[in-house]
Structure 1
């Protein structure tokens, strides 16, 4: 592997077209710029040579802050040993490992990594030093409609709220998200509301609170949406929802099933 470190003129650097990060907090960039003025750039950015300069693979936030700080050059590691796909993977892995992306940027980055390398959720997790559950939870966010995705990235909805909403139809997501914000629901309260909306109702419209408590407990234990319904004779059904084959594998493992 050929790597060199050098001070590169900032104006010769172009951000890569496939950068995972799309949103930059202006106040945070100003704070980083102040830090760079005081202490300089401690961690080099990562570049690859292109015809008219350098392509930025990792460190776009530092590069942007350095421009705000009035710096003319920035320390960089130049990776000319990488082909275009490997260059994309390096940038994705660096951002995912640093957890410097928004929730939806993370989800999109993980999907791109899976598509580029044809990896399972478990293999992606191993590549970035995270668990399979971490990967599956973020990839589930890709099922969210655009309006709810924007709420998640804006911090209006937590990851727990987002995972719960990803399990319902897109046309229901926005309505339930708005209700969640209006009522300031916790994740558990949102899950309960979604379960009530999805569960078939008995003829008299009533549902025993013991069944609801058991339903919530099972959902927390198995880390998946659970619907539990029974009639007066004790007959009923238990439904477990999963959103990918990787999640199904994890759920079967939780239940102690081995092929």
Structure 2
């Protein structure tokens, strides 16, 4: 049992470490921008689509850049409608986004102007008369630490129930005569051990996932006026597992 517990904890830590290393090994936004500047539009399209699909990884400014470059890449393929939508999303993340007209092609400027008009009509929040737009900061809930907390609670539950296993085992060993009581203690011990094993497996996996999310999704200050309507960061899927262990009362 102790060996299994150790291996499960080690597996959770390894999963988290591997996930963090994989996440830090590449940055689709930076690689996508580089591909666009190199006129490799096919590669840029794939990378930038991947970047905008991970909003929780980037700050609002970085996310606006991802949508902006994706829009320009789509314009290279003459997909103007999709490009305008990406410009709108870029403005949602950063309403102050703008282009230098002296360094930007008329094709991009026209699509961006149309997108800005759509954004102002559909998304811009009008300020009440003599009432300034809200200031200050809000904080996104750190998903990684939430998972680590839940995983820690599961591991603590596993430890408590494993202690109950040994307590029940001691009572089982001390009982010699009452067969009904022996059967009851055995069933109780098996239940505790099953709960301990499942809690250990779930806790190890959630802790590993929490390490990954904590490393890639730090809470960041976000101006309330910069996200309207607010962007929704999808919560990544979390896996669970269960373990079946043999009972020692034979």
- TM class by shorter chain equals under 0.3
Give the number of the structure whose alpha-carbon radius of gyration is greater: 2
- Quick one: higher RCO (CA 8 Å, sep 6+), 1 or 2? 2
TM-score by length of 1: 0.24
TM-score by length of 2: 0.25
Q: Which has the higher strand share?
A: 1
